[in-house]
C-alpha cells in the first residue's frame, strides 16, 4: 500500500489531515491488486465512511476510488506502516455515500486473491446495479459520479383519517361511497383504485380537502408484484414434517447457535420437501431480526420459488436476477439496502446485495454449474457463500438431490477451510408420495427391430396413454434448434461459423444457421430447397444431422391428439421478458400437456399432475470431453426423473439410450446413486481430478494464432519453473483411492502438474485463437499466488488476452 511513486503530492497549507483512508482505485488492472493510502482532509472527516466513493489523484489523472479502511494515523492503516504522512496525497472530494455492505471490502480482497482477478473488478460486484459508474467532469470543472439514469418511482397511498371514519357522503355521491368502501379495510394505492374504479382523482381531491382522506407519497418498488398463476407457487405450512425435515432443521439450528459458519448439506431425494426446510429455517432467522439469501440456479425457477417465499413472508421478499429491467434491479437492491426486504431470492449475483445483518445463506441445487461465474472474477457462488458464512459466523445451507462431488468429499472429511461440513439425508417424500418407476429403453434393440422413430415403442405408448388419461408429461432433450448441424452427403462438409471453430445449428422456424458459441446468425433458404447448396462442393444434398428440440416438437404434434398442448421451453422460446414464467403458466393451466425442453426444465419444478417423464436421448451428455460429463449426466437425469410422481398418482420415467449398461444409467434406473458415485470417485482419484485436487485453467487468446500460443507457452514455462522452486516433490499418482497427501487435506510441499499449452476444444471463438494451460494442484497448495506472480512478471503483449479460471468447470 504505497502512494504512487511518480506523483507524490504534499498537502496544501490550508488542508489538515483528520484521518487516513485505504482506497481501491476503480481501474480494473491486475497491477492494481492493493489499495492505496490517501489522507482525509478535515472537511470530509465526518462524512467519509467505509464504502464511500471518493475522487483521488492517481498518476496524472483523476480517478474514482472506494474507501475500504479508515484510521486516525497512517501507522494504524493496514499495509501503510512506515509511510511518511506528508508524502501521502489527499482525497480530493467525496462523491457518493456508501452503497454496499460493510463486509464488501473484505470479501473483495479475498475474491481478488483467490481467483486472481483485479481488485476493482471484485469490488464492483457489490456496487448498485446499472453498470459501472463513470467519473465525469462538469463545465465548471467539478467532478461527479455518473450512473445510468434510472429514476425512482413513487406512488400515492390513501387512508381514512379519524374524521373520515364517521364521514357520511351525500346520498348521490356514488364515487365518494366507492372510495370510502375501498379504504374501509386499510390503505390503498391510487394505482389499485384505478384498476378497480377507473379514475377517482377528482373524488380524492374533494375528500382530501375535507380532511376525510389522507394522501401520502412513498417510494414504490418495481419488480415486487411477481404475480403468477402457477398453482405450485404457494407454500402453506404442513401439518407434520418428515423425519428427514426435522433432522435437517435441527442441524441448521445447531449450526446457527454455534456461530462458526458451519455448512449443512441437505442431501434429499427429489420431492422430499427441501423448500419447506429452507422456509422454516428462514423464519427462525427473521425472528431474530436478521436477513437471509436464497440462491436458485435457473431463472425458470424464480417465479415458482419467489411465489412460495412471498406466500410465507409477504412483500419482505426481494428478487434479483438478470431478466429484471434496470429500474427493477435498482429498486430490488434498494429494498434490501433500506431493510424493506429481508429475504432475497435470486441467481448467484444476489450474494452481493447490501444485506442488513445477514444470518443465513441457502443455495438450492448446489450442484449446478450455473453457480460458476463465466467472466472475471470467475468465482463459484458456493465458495463465496462459504467464505461469507465463515466470516459472518452464520450457517450456509446447501440443498440438492444430487450433491456435487466437492460437497460430498468435504462432508466426508468433516471440515474444510476451518469450517465444519455436515451432511443430512432426506430419503422420503412427504404425504406418502413415492419415487417414480424408471424404464430404460434400449435404442439398439429398437433400431434392430426396425424402429426409425425418435420415440421408442414404450415411450410412444406412454405418451398416448398420458393423453388418453388427460394427464401431463415432461420430455427432456438437451439440444435446442432443429438439427445440431448440417452435413453434405457428397463431400462431408459441415457448415461452420466464420468466426468460431464450431458447427452451425439449423433452426427451422427462422430458417437460420446459428452459432451457439458467439451468437452469429446466418439466414439461409429452407432446407432442402432450390438454391440451398453445400458451401464447399455446391451439392444440394445437405442432410440435417441429429435432433434438436424444434424437430422433437414437430414429431410430438404429429403423434398426439390436437387437444394436448405441446409447450417447448428452451433458450430460443424464452428470450423475452418473463418468457419462462409465461410458458410454465401455460403448462400449468392446460388440462393435458407435454412440456418439452432442455435442462432448464429438469430441476426444481413441481407439478403434481406430471405422471410421465421421458428422455429422448440420454447419451448426449455422457460422452462429452470433460471429466465431469458423467456427474452432469447423472445430475440431469436424476433431477428430471424427479419431476414425475410428485402428486397422488404414481410416476413413470422412460430413458432412451444406446448405453444401458453405463453406471450413470444404472444408478438412475435403480435409484441407487452409489453405483455411479463410487465408480466416478475411483476414476477421479486415479486420474487426479477434483475433488482430490484443484483444477485451474489459464486461457490465452488473440487474433494472431502464433502470438496466443507463444504467450501460453511462456506462461506454462514460468509456472513450471516457479513450482519446481517452491514445491520440489512431484504430485503422486493415485491408485484405488485418493493419494494420502490429498485425502488428508493436501500437502503444500507437493508440486502441481502443469499441462499444456494446448488448443482449447473450441480452438477459435469470435475470430480469436484460443490456447490453455491446465494446472492440477494439491488442496493445500495456494496455486493462485503462483499464477498471480507469473502474470505480474510477464504482462500480456498487445493484442493478447489472458483469463484465469481457478477451480475451473468449463475446459472447452
- Report if residue 6 sits inside a domain: no
**pLDDT, average across residues 44-54:** 87
* H/E stretch holding 439: strand 437-442
pLDDT band at 322 (very low <50, low <70, confident <90, very high): confident
Do 734 and 597 share a domain, yes or no?
Answer: no
Do 306 and 418 share a domain, yes or no?
Answer: yes
pLDDT at 481 > cutoff 70: no
Which residue range forms the structural domain that includes residue 123? 17-146
- Report if residue 4 sits inside a domain: no
Q: Tell me whether residue 355 is exposed, middle or buried, using C-beta atoms within 10 angstroms of its C-beta: 0 to 12, 13 to 18, 19 or more.
A: buried
Do 488 and 471 share a domain, yes or no?
Answer: no
pLDDT in tens, 257-282: 999 999 999 999 888 889 999 999 99
Do 262 and 391 share a domain, yes or no?
Answer: yes
Overall domain count for the chain? 6
pLDDT in tens, 757-794: 999 988 898 999 999 999 999 988 889 999 999 999 99
Q: Which of 410, 430, 450 is the last residue of a domain?
A: 430
CATH (domain of 660): 3.40.50.300
- Report if residue 228 sits inside a domain: no
pLDDT at 749 > cutoff 70: no
438-452 burial string, b = 16+ CB within 10 Å, else e? bbbbbbeebeeeeee
Residue 301 confidence (pLDDT): 64
799: CB partners within 8 A, 6+ apart = 702, 703, 704, 707
Do 722 and 583 share a domain, yes or no?
Answer: no
Of 695, 703, 672, the closest CA to residue 770 belongs to: 703
- Report if residue 247 sits inside a domain: yes
Residue 9 confidence (pLDDT): 40
Q: Which of 650, 682, 714 is the last residue of a domain?
A: 682
Do 309 and 331 share a domain, yes or no?
Answer: yes
pTM, to two decimals: 0.85
Do 136 and 203 share a domain, yes or no?
Answer: no
Do 622 and 704 share a domain, yes or no?
Answer: no
pLDDT band at 483 (very low <50, low <70, confident <90, very high): low
Assess contact for 686 and 739: CB atoms under 8 A.
no
Residue 458 confidence (pLDDT): 95
CATH (domain of 786): 3.30.70.600
Strand partners, 764: 769
Q: Which of 626, 656, 682 is the last residue of a domain?
A: 682
Of 98, 111, 114, 84, the closest CA to residue 3 belongs to: 84
Of 597, 479, 498, 596, the closest CA to residue 544 belongs to: 479
- Report if residue 811 sits inside a domain: no
Residue 746 confidence (pLDDT): 47
Edge-first strand listing for the sheet containing 188-189: 188-189, 154-160, 213-219
Do 294 and 417 share a domain, yes or no?
Answer: yes
Do 258 and 403 share a domain, yes or no?
Answer: yes
The residue among 317 and 219 whose pLDDT is bigger is 317
Of 32-36, 506-510, 528-532, 533-537, the range with the highest mean pLDDT is 32-36
CA 616 to chain centre: 27
Residue 551 confidence (pLDDT): 87
Neighbours of 759 (CB within 10 A): 17
Q: Which three cell numbers stand for residue 196?
A: 378497480
Do 118 and 202 share a domain, yes or no?
Answer: no
- Report if residue 7 sits inside a domain: no
CATH (domain of 160): 1.10.10
Rounded Cα distance between 95 and 777, Å, is 44
- Report if residue 792 sits inside a domain: yes
Q: Tell me whether residue 326 is exposed, middle or buried, using C-beta atoms within 10 angstroms of its C-beta: 0 to 12, 13 to 18, 19 or more.
A: middle
- Report if residue 290 sits inside a domain: yes
pLDDT band at 300 (very low <50, low <70, confident <90, very high): low
CATH (domain of 113): 3.40.1440.60
Do 110 and 38 share a domain, yes or no?
Answer: yes
Amino acid at each position: 500500500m504505497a502512494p504512487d511513486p511518480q506523483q507524490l503530492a504534499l498537502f496544501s497549507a490550508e488542508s489538515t489531515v483528520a484521518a487516513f483512508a485505504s482506497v481501491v482505485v476503480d481501474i480494473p488492472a491486475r497491477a492494481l491488486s492493493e489499495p492505496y493510502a490517501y489522507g482525509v482532509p478535515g472537511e470530509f472527516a465526518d462524512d467519509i465512511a467505509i464504502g464511500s466513493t471518493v475522487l483521488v489523484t492517481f498518476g496524472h489523472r483523476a480517478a474514482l476510488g472506494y474507501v475500504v479502511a479508515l484510521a486516525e494515523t497512517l501507522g494504524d492503516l493496514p499495509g501503510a506502516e512506515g509511510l511518511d504522512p506528508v508524502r501521502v496525497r489527499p482525497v480530493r472530494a467525496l462523491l457518493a455515500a456508501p452503497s454496499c455492505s460493510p463486509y464488501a471490502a473484505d470479501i473483495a480482497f479475498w475474491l481478488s486473491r483467490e481467483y486472481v482477478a483485479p481488485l476493482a473488478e471484485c469490488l464492483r460486484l457489490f456496487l448498485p446495479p446499472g453498470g459501472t459508474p463513470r467519473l465525469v467532469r462538469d463545465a465548471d470543472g467539478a467532478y461527479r459520479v455518473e450512473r445510468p439514469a434510472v429514476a425512482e418511482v413513487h406512488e400515492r397511498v390513501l387512508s381514512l383519517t379519524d374524521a373520515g371514519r364517521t364521514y357520511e357522503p351525500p346520498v348521490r355521491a356514488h364515487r365518494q361511497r366507492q372510495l370510502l368502501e375501498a379504504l374501509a379495510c386499510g390503505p390503498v394505492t391510487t394505482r389499485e383504485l384505478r384498476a378497480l374504479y377507473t379514475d377517482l382523482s377528482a373524488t380524492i381531491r374533494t375528500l382530501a380537502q375535507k380532511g376525510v382522506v389522507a394522501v401520502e407519497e412513498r417510494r414504490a418498488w418495481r419488480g415486487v408484484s411477481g404475480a403468477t398463476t402457477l398453482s405450485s407457487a404457494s407454500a402453506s405450512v404442513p401439518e407434520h414434517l418428515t423425519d428427514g425435515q426435522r433432522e435437517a432443521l435441527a442441524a441448521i439450528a445447531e449450526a446457527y447457535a454455534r456461530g462458526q459458519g458451519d455448512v449443512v448439506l441437505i442431501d434429499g431425494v427429489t420431492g422430499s420437501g427441501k423448500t419447506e426446510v429452507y422456509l422454516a429455517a428462514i423464519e427462525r432467522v427473521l425472528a431474530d431480526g436478521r436477513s437471509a439469501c436464497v440462491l436458485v440456479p435457473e431463472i425458470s425457477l424464480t417465479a415458482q420459488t419467489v411465489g412460495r417465499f412471498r406466500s410465507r413472508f409477504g412483500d419482505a421478499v426481494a428478487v434479483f436476477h438478470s431478466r429484471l429491467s434496470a429500474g427493477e434491479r435498482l429498486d430490488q437492491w434498494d429494498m434490501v439496502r433500506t431493510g424493506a426486504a429481508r429475504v432475497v431470492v435470486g441467481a448467484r449475483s444476489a450474494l452481493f446485495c447490501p444485506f442488513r445483518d445477514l444470518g443465513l445463506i441457502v443455495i438450492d441445487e448446489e450442484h449446478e454449474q450455473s453457480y460458476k461465474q463465466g467472466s472475471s472474477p470467475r468465482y463459484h457462488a458456493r465458495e463465496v457463500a462459504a467464505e461469507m458464512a465463515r466470516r459472518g459466523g452464520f450457517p450456509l445451507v446447501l440443498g440438492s438431490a444430487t450433491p456435487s462431488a466437492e460437497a460430498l468429499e468435504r462432508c466426508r472429511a468433516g471440515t474444510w477451510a476451518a469450517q465444519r461440513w455436515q451432511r443430512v439425508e432426506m430419503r422420503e417424500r412427504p404425504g406418502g408420495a413415492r419415487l417414480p418407476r424408471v424404464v430404460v429403453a434400449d435404442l439398439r434393440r429398437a433400431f434392430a427391430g426396425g424402429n426409425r422413430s425418435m420415440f421408442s415403442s414404450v415411450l410412444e405408448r406412454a405418451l398416448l396413454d398420458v393423453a388418453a388419461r388427460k394427464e401431463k408429461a415432461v420430455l427432456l432433450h438437451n439440444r435446442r434448434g432443429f438439427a445440431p448441424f448440417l452435413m453434405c452427403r457428397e463431400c462431408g462438409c459441415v457448415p461452420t461459423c466464420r468466426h468460431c471453430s464450431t458447427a452451425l445449428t439449423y433452426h427451422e422456424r427462422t430458417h437460420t444457421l446459428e452459432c451457439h458459441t458467439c451468437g452469429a446468425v446466418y439466414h439461409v433458404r429452407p432446407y432442402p430447397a432450390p438454391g440451398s447448396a453445400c458451401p464447399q462442393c455446391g451439392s444440394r444434398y445437405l442432410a440435417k444431422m441429429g435432433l434438436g428440440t424444434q424437430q422433437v416438437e414437430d414429431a410430438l404434434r404429429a403423434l398426439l391428439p390436437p387437444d394436448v398442448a405441446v409447450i417447448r421451453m428452451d433458450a430460443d422460446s424464452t428470450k423475452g421478458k418473463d418468457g419462462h414464467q409465461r410458458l410454465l403458466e401455460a403448462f400449468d393451466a392446460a388440462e393435458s400437456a407435454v412440456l418439452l425442453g432442455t435442462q432448464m426444465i429438469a430441476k426444481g419444478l413441481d407439478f403434481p399432475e406430471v405422471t410421465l417423464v421421458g428422455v429422448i436421448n440420454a447419451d448426449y451428455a455422457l460422452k462429452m470431453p470433460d471429466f465431469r460429463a458423467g456427474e452432469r449426466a447423472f445430475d440431469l437425469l436424476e433431477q428430471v426423473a424427479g419431476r414425475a410422481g410428485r402428486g397422488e398418482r404414481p410416476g413413470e420415467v422412460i430413458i432412451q439410450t444406446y448405453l444401458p449398461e453405463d453406471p450413470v444409467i444404472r444408478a438412475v434406473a435403480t435409484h441407487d446413486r452409489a453405483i455411479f458415485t463410487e465408480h466416478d470417485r475411483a476414476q477421479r482419484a486415479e486420474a487426479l481430478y477434483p475433488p482430490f485436487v484443484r483444477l485451474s485453467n489459464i486461457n490465452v487468446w488473440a487474433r494472431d494464432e502464433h502470438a496466443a500460443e507463444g504467450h501460453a507457452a511462456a506462461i506454462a514455462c514460468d509456472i513450471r519453473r516457479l513450482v519446481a522452486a517452491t514445491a520440489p516433490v512431484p504430485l503422486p499418482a493415485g491408485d484405488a483411492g485418493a493419494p494420502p497427501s490429498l485425502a488428508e487435506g493436501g500437502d503444500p510441499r507437493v508440486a502441481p502438474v502443469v499441462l499444456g499449452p494446448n488448443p482449447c476444444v473450441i480452438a477459435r471463438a469470435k475470430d480469436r485463437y484460443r490456447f490453455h494451460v491446465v494446472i492440477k494442484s494439491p488442496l493445500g497448495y495456494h496455486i493462485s499466488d503462483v499464477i498471480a506472480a507469473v502474470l505480474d512478471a510477464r504482462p500480456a503483449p498487445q493484442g493478447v488476452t489472458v483469463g484465469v479460471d481457478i477451480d475451473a468447470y468449463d475446459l472447452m
